[in-house]
Structure 1
């Protein structure tokens, strides 16, 4: 029996819109969404199925696919725990315009956006967002629930810890380690390891 191409989303706002278009372009059907409340805007005319903590999600979803369509790393981690607890069917959402090496490994509930490049030997954790046009060079290690912003570049052998955020057009030099929970501002340039958790900005990187 072939895998379902029907998807239920968890979260429905701006980031979800981007995922929806990638899913539709890849031939999936988006059945509807779960969220804390029904969205005020519904540009894709999706059905609202309630808040996941207050309804029987398994009976609604059945054997179809689920996906966390929220940009916030910590909330996405909670949704992944919910998926695992209820044994829901996760998958990797890949925009047809992405370019992924045959030797890259990507775990479920990660989103690979438009014009993203993932090069040889890179490993992408669960619930990761690789946003539009970012580059993940060879042998990078990206942990769970990381968000890499549009146009960001991770040069080879970069290790990124859990729940980090790397802003749009940031550049991370090769062979560096960024420990869990770090935030790197848009356009920043990282030239040394970030072992201390913080918010980092600038071309000459500094901690806020």
Structure 2
């Protein structure tokens, strides 16, 4: 365990719902959050109370990279590169990103979680799993044994990846989706919410789930 003197304070990039969940996790862990960086009004989110509000991306540059760590609180949408773009901007200025793991997440000591990854409440990451840098394992998602998750993935709430699934970079798996064992999802693949994936997905492919039909009686 790191000495408390080595734990750096944090700057949160983004002020929406994803950022609010991260701040909730970090505050519960006793971490010091210096500021939230967001151009929009954040006053309606109580979790940000008492935290300094910065409105410009470049406001971060007033802090030395040696003195703070960043947490990217931008939620990911399918095929959106905003999170990666912001990360690369700050990395080019020598900032580093903190890894965030909720206390209620179950992460095997035999799993590997790379820098900047975020694992939310109730998520399960089993033995032998690899979680790539800056990927999000959202609330209640399950990453089974020996899965390999690429960089900048977003595994949405309650999604399940069965054993030995491989995802390349920038993959999005929607809420409640299931990917059966040993499937490979190539770069930029998208799995819709509730889908069941039984075949490999190639680069830029989308797997759509069946949709409920709504009729008036």
1:13-162 to 2 correspondences below 5 Å: 13-39=16-42, 41-43=44-46, 44-45=48-49, 46-53=51-58, 55=59, 57-59=61-63, 62-72=66-76, 74-162=81-169
Secondary structure in structure 2 of the residue aligned to 1:33: strand
For 2:210 and 2:110, the matched residues in 1 are separated by 32
8 Å contact from structure 2 (residues 39, 54) kept in 1 = no
Match 1:181 to one of 180, 188, 193? 188
| Cα distance change, pair 107–98 in 1 and its aligned pair in 2 (3 A) | same
Number of residues paired by the alignment? 203
> Stretches of 4+ moved more than 4 A in 1?
none
8 Å contact from structure 2 (residues 20, 45) kept in 1 = no
For 1:74 and 1:130, the matched residues in 2 are separated by 17
For 1:133 and 1:56, the matched residues in 2 are separated by 32
Q: Larger radius of gyration, structure 1 or 2?
A: 2
The CA RMSD measured in Å over matched residues stands at: 2.0
Secondary structure in structure 2 of the residue aligned to 1:79: helix
Q: Tell me by how many angstroms 1:67 deviates.
A: 0.5
